[in-house]
């Protein structure tokens, strides 16, 4: 078992690290302050393949593994958490379209999505269906060669700025078996609410989306009717790895900043690095961060190898890494004292941006439920 990155992975990491340093980190604070969505920068990321990391090569994607993608996303998150998170969402939606879309849909959208010239949002959550996604109410009714979609989606990242919406909607019976996935052009008569005023993730808009008999070609259906919930859960397995990775990358940036600060800042005639209490805090931060990184990479490996318990590993990685990421950012802020609380330093932004990771892609309480159910299922494979 080799935990070292191979040559390709090191090159991917170097490329992403350089992009984060040049195109993300210098502007992240301004984007956050001005609530600016850097669409042009995301398109630059697309030129490097970062908008289609694990989409199939046959559709113009990079065809990388989830492990490779997690290594890249971690480096990008050093520069801007919110922008990287949007990249992960676009990657997930693009993968779904290029993997399960009809030939007609793929011919229309694959090139634009994989290059980042066109962006996509993932639409699952509703005002009345968050953790209980299988109870969603947005409906799609067949009308000749089209579907008519009615309903609403809540907390949709990128909404109003993206060109395509991957929408989970009900085409059949109650419960998960009646859910389908349909790709909806953003200009197909969709109504957008105001941009939400959020605690973090201010470099991307989040809006309510409403559908009132929005007409979409039946060729925009992903897979077959009734497969949408399965696709959504497959997407969320990868999404949980992605968002856990964003937490790790942000926490690593916070830890690096805290380490530098401890060497520079003096109190009582000596640098903070000389105080054993702070040394211990730094050691715990680093140890837990390394553990979280390895758990995320293990989950990515399990997903890549189609392990029968991959979903449980993804849930464990998401729960652990997002909790650790938040704790490390909190500790880094504490080490900075009052300076950590002001916007001149990035610690308060890191703290705000990673907090939502414990909520989205399934709350950490739901992650515990997924894990426990698999452990208690007599048919579950051993989790080692």
- Pairing outcome for strands 164-170 and 120-123: parallel
Active site residues: 361
- Tell me the angle at which helices 66-77 and 228-264 cross, rounded to the nearest 10 degrees: 40
26-58 CB burial, b ≥16 within 10 A, e <16: ebbbebbeeeebbbebbebbbebbbbbbbbbee
Query: What is the rounded end-to-end Cα distance, in angstroms, of the chain?
Result: 15
Can you read off the two tokens belonging to residue 286?
Answer: 């680093």
Q: How far apart are CA 155 and CA 94, in angstroms?
A: 19
- Pairing outcome for strands 206-217 and 146-157: antiparallel
Phi and psi angles of residue 383, each rounded to the nearest 5 degrees, phi first: -105, 110
User: Residue 277: how many CB atoms within 10 A of its CB?
Assistant: 8
DSSP string, 33-87: HHT---HHHHHHHHHTTTTSTTS-GGGT-----HHHHHHHHHHHHTT-HHHHHHH
Which parts of 126-245 are beta strand (E)? 139-143, 146-157, 164-170, 179-185, 191-192, 206-217, 221-222
Q: How far apart are CA 94 and CA 164, in angstroms?
A: 9
User: Residue 116: how many CB atoms within 10 A of its CB?
Assistant: 24
Q: What angle do CA 73, 74, 80 make, to 5 degrees?
A: 80
């Amino acid at each position: 078992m080799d935990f070292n990155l191979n040559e390709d992975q090191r090159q991917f990491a170097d490329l992403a690290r350089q992009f984060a340093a040049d195109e993300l980190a210098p502007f992240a604070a301004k984007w956050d302050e001005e609530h600016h969505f850097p669409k042009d920068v995301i398109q630059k990321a697309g030129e490097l393949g970062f908008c289609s990391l694990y989409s199939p090569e046959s559709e113009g994607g990079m065809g990388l593994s989830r492990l490779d993608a997690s290594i890249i996303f971690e480096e990008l998150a050093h520069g801007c958490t919110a922008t990287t998170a949007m990249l992960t969402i676009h990657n997930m939606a693009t993968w779904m379209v290029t993997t399960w879309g009809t030939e007609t849909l793929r011919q229309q959208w694959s090139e634009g999505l994989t290059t980042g010239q066109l962006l996509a949002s993932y639409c699952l959550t509703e005002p009345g269906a968050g953790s209980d996604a299988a109870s969603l109410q947005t409906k799609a009714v067949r009308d000749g060669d089209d579907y008519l979609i009615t309903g609403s989606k809540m907390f949709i990242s990128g909404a109003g700025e993206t060109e395509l919406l991957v929408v989970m909607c009900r085409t059949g019976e109650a419960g998960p078996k009646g859910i389908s996935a349909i790709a909806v052009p953003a200009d197909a008569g969709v109504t957008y609410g105001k941009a939400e005023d959020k605690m973090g993730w201010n470099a991307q808009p989040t809006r309510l989306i409403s559908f009132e008999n929005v007409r979409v070609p039946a060729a925009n259906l992903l897979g077959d009717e009734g497969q949408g919930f399965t696709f959504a859960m497959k997407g969320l397995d990868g999404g949980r790895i992605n968002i856990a990775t964003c937490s790790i990358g942000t926490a690593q940036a916070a830890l690096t900043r805290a380490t530098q600060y401890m060497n520079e800042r003096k109190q009582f005639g000596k640098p903070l690095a000389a105080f054993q209490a702070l040394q211990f805090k730094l050691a715990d931060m680093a140890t837990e961060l390394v553990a979280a990184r390895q758990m995320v990479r293990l989950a990515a490996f399990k997903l890549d190898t189609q392990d029968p318990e991959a979903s449980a590993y993804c849930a464990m990685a998401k729960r652990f890494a997002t909790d650790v990421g938040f704790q490390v950012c909190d500790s880094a802020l504490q080490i900075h004292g009052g300076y950590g609380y002001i916007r001149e330093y990035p610690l308060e932004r890191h703290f705000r941006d990673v907090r939502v990771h414990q909520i989205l892609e399934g709350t950490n309480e739901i992650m515990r439920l997924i894990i426990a159910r698999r452990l208690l299922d007599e048919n579950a494979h051993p989790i080692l």
